[in-house]
Amino acid sequence: MNINKINKNINFQSGLNKKLIEQCKHTDINKVKSDLFLKNIDSDFKSSKSVAFAVSKVLSIFELLLDKTKKNIFKISTPNIMIYSKKDLDFEFEGYGFCLPETQLVIKNKSPFETGSVFYENENSLENLNEKIEKSFNNNKRSSSHYLAPFIHEILHERYIDFIYSKYGYEGNCPYTQKKYTKGQNNNGLKVMQILQNKIFSQEENNIISNILGSYSSYPKNQYHEVFAETFTKLICDSLSDKTSLPIKNPLDKLKKYPIEFLNIIIKLFYYS
């Protein structure tokens, strides 16, 4: 297969329509928080109906896919989903959101947040966010221009973090993370996490990655994490209905349609050593 001929736009639908925008306007933030709390997820959406609506959609997507596939990649276990303001962060950050690989201080004058906590930038307009995502996609930076892509992306970071600690254990000092993860292989998951922050793919592999996922996934920082998140973000977004933003097919079925060169890269995400 000629990798250079892969079309990122095949069967693409942006997903945001007038009906969904109207649903967003009527989002009950307290109900979304309550639904998350019942799943042992604390949340704070400030007054952003857009983020609450998007997170609620993502939660439904992952629940439906978990029920259909029984795969742990769709089993959300983040302890917190929060909105942040850049001025309140304890560190500098640029982007749509982030996920914590280990418990740390995030918000000034607040207690540290636990491993796997997900943070999203405050966004009050799905339409504006959709424009940003589409621009990024059209500039060949991201794997999908779906309005839910950045929300799915961060949840997938949590899933990759969970995979690493579940497989390799956790040898750090955080009581929360120690309790959540029993000892795995060699009990060196934190060391593995640190190694993956600097591990990169070859130039040939990065050419393949950029062609399929966009240039963002070829950046050297946290590359294994980003390739994982962007790959499955693209698969999930491509499986969603353009009317309801809910899955109408199994996203994992599309994996087999990718060239073997790309699949070999994906295998390394799970058996990197």
What does pTM read for this prediction?
0.92
What are the tens digits of pLDDT across the range 3-38?
Answer: 443 444 333 346 799 999 999 999 999 999 999 999
The upper half-sphere exposure of residue 97, i.e. CA atoms within 13 Å in the direction of its Cβ, equals 27
What are the tens digits of pLDDT across the range 137-183?
Answer: 999 989 999 999 999 999 999 999 999 999 999 999 899 999 999 76
Judged against a pLDDT cut of 60, whether residue 272 lies above it is answered with yes
* pLDDT, mean over the chain: 91
- What pLDDT, on a 0 to 100 scale, did the predictor assign at position 156? 98
- What pLDDT, on a 0 to 100 scale, did the predictor assign at position 12? 37
- What pLDDT, on a 0 to 100 scale, did the predictor assign at position 185? 60
C-alpha distances in angstroms, 115 versus 9, 54, 89, 118, 176? 35, 22, 17, 9, 8
Per DSSP (E only), the strands in the chain are 42-44, 80-84, 97-99, 118-121
